[in-house]
Structure 1
Amino acid sequence: MRTESSWSRLQPWLSTIIRLGLAAVFLVAGGLKVTDLDGSARAVNAYELMPWEVAKIVGAVQPVLEIGIGLLLLLGLATRLAAWLAAISMVVFIAGISSAWARGLSIDCGCFSKGGALPVGTSPNYTWDIVRDVAFLALAVFLILFPSSRFSIDGGSKNTSTMEESERE
């Protein structure tokens, strides 16, 4: 009989903290936007990547998707899928911010605010926005690799390799 390693004891708790932290990020971001879908559409439109009609649709769908991802993570339901959706969202957000920066746009990313064009003389802090989103992306990747966590509907606190090792003994 093997003794449980430090990693096998720590990992489910670490995944729980990351899962709940990412859930909070997505729930707050989506919650701030869902009450003002016109503002969300203006924030999307500020990136100048799509026509206004498409920006309105994206601006309406985005907060609902963020809340959906946040709820899945909060409940620990389909955690790996939710982590993949979070990771894909972060890649899209990083690409959008990078594009705005490269094209010299002066906008608020709209991640946790109404977004849109910044007042004249105000500089965007794209570096911070990208670093923050890369950190969130790293957390999502961690959950993709280690989705098993405590207090989740998915159940179980052991990862598959640990369970397989236990079954062989």
Structure 2
Amino acid sequence: MNLVSERSQAGEPGLLRRPRTLDLVGLVARLLLGGVMLVAGLLKVAKPEVSARAVQAYQILPFDLATYVGYGLPILEVLLGALLVLGLFTRTAAAIAGVLLVAFIIGIASAWARGISIDCGCFGQGGTIDPSQTRYLEEILRDVGLVLCAAWLVTRPRTAYSLERTLFA
């Protein structure tokens, strides 16, 4: 059953083209992306040295720069996650989160390609691990899904139950 084409032929907008349905898809994308960013940041914000060690383990950035990035990243993740969960500055927060996720995908793929065995550090751990414990493909696929959520929100930031909609309607 194709709800889009059947309803469209009857002169009504298809279910997947109705503004309310699109707003709910946006809500799911916003809460999923925001929730992951918020949890990832909160798990690291109290232990910035662990986050710094995780960024250093990728061996992409100079050691000192990786340390600064590791200290700042959890704060940025918490901020972006909170904005997305609340539905404030949705397009901007989703765009920044999307860029971060693309950087994470590149970093994970780089570590995988170079044979470096690390935990991605996404949820508070990080650092060198046994090669049998790596989950690079899973991590990349997860981040690709989150990039798709970010892309949806950049192109259609209007979502159900957002503060932005309430305050600026």
TM-score interval, normalised by the smaller of the two chains: 0.7 to 0.9
> How far is the alpha carbon of 1:52 from its aligned partner?
2.1
Corresponding residue of 2:93: 82
Matched, 1:48 2:59: yes
> How far is the alpha carbon of 1:51 from its aligned partner?
2.4
Other structure's SS at 2:37 match = helix
- Find the aligned partners of 1:91 and 1:31 in 2 and give their Cα distance: 20
Matched, 1:72 2:83: yes
From 14, 34, 38, give the equivalent of 1:27. Answer: 38
> How far is the alpha carbon of 1:5 from its aligned partner?
5.3
Q: Which amino acid is the alignment partner of residue 148 of structure 1?
A: R
Corresponding residue of 2:72: 61
Runs of 4+ in 1 over 3 A off after TM superposition: 2-5
For the 8 Å contact 2:50–2:124, the answer to whether it is kept is no
> How far is the alpha carbon of 1:109 from its aligned partner?
0.5
| Aligned-residue RMSD, C-alpha | 1.6
User: TM-score of the superposition, structure 2-length normalised?
Assistant: 0.86
For the 8 Å contact 2:52–2:69, the answer to whether it is kept is yes
Matched, 1:143 2:165: no
Q: Which amino acid is the alignment partner of residue 125 of structure 1?
A: R
Other structure's SS at 1:61 match = helix
The answer for unaligned runs of 5 or more in structure 2 is: 1-10
Matched, 1:108 2:119: yes
For the 8 Å contact 2:84–2:90, the answer to whether it is kept is yes
- Find the aligned partners of 2:14 and 2:87 in 1 and give their Cα distance: 24
For the 8 Å contact 2:37–2:80, the answer to whether it is kept is yes
From 2, 12, 26, give the equivalent of 1:15. Answer: 26
Which protein is richer in helix relative to its size?
2
> How far is the alpha carbon of 1:30 from its aligned partner?
0.3
- Find the aligned partners of 2:85 and 2:133 in 1 and give their Cα distance: 35
- Find the aligned partners of 1:35 and 1:16 in 2 and give their Cα distance: 29
Other structure's SS at 2:121 match = coil
The answer for unaligned runs of 5 or more in structure 1 is: 157-169
Percent identical across equivalent pairs?
A: 43
- Find the aligned partners of 1:63 and 1:70 in 2 and give their Cα distance: 10
Other structure's SS at 2:134 match = coil
Other structure's SS at 1:96 match = helix
